[in-house]
Amino acid sequence: MNMVSAGDFRNGVTFEMDGNVLQIVEFQHVKPGKGAAFVRTKIKNVITGAVLEKTFNPTDKFPTAYIERKEMQYLYNDGDLYYFMDTETYDQLPIGKNTIPDNFKFVKENMIVKILSYKGNVFGIEPPFFVELEVTDTEPGVRGDTATNVTKPATLETGAVIKVPLFINTGDMIRIDTRVGEYMERA
């Protein structure tokens, strides 16, 4: 069985503790002037989604949890169910709305996403880090206004609303970083 020590914690590392599967969200190695070093973490229970803060001794060891990340194609949603397809077997997988993350609002039909599961239980969906979407509604751009820090709301083809620079117009394709939900550039 593979073990991971707290001294090797990095963002995204998954491990088992007290029967739960936890993922490091943030970590900080602290070496106080006096006393022993420790690792301060924010960890997410990947099954329940709860995030807690916990301090570890760098030598604490935990079994590595193997999270399966499988690429699947998003097909459509029907009420509270979202349907995904395995592009190799064409099997369809319905996933309940409560498992769908907030940044899924940037995913449109037919996009490939990663389905995260542990021992066959799906607990999360990872959209592509970057997506290109069309702006379907925003106030007209103001010519000559090149202020970069001024933004306006824009509705995207998936229904998501984000802040964009003033020069973006309806019909523009833009690139979004789904991890932070922000406009990056014109596509």
2-40 pLDDT per residue, tens: 899 999 998 888 999 998 899 998 999 999 888 889 999
Question: What number is the average pLDDT over the span 55-65?
Answer: 94
pLDDT at 145: 58
Residues in the chain: 187
pLDDT at 136: 97
Mind listing the domains of the chain with CATH numbers? 3-63 (2.30.30.30), 68-126 (2.40.50.140), 130-186 (2.40.50.140)
pLDDT at 55 over 80: yes
Looking at this protein, which amino acid is placed at residue 136?
T
Looking at this protein, which amino acid is placed at residue 148?
T
What is the band of 148 on the pLDDT scale with cuts at 50, 70, 90? low
pLDDT at 173: 97
109-128 confidence digits (pLDDT tens) = 999 999 998 888 888 899 99
- Of 4-8, 12-16, 133-137, 152-156, least confident by mean pLDDT is 12-16
Residue 99 C-alpha from the chain's centroid: 12
Contact 185, 133 (CB under 8 A): no
pLDDT at 176: 96
Question: What number is the average pLDDT over the span 40-45?
Answer: 94
CA quadruple 119, 120, 123, 127: dihedral positive or negative? positive
pLDDT at 144: 62
DSSP, residue by residue, 3-40: EEEGGG--TT-EEEETTEEEEEEEEEEE--SSS--EEE
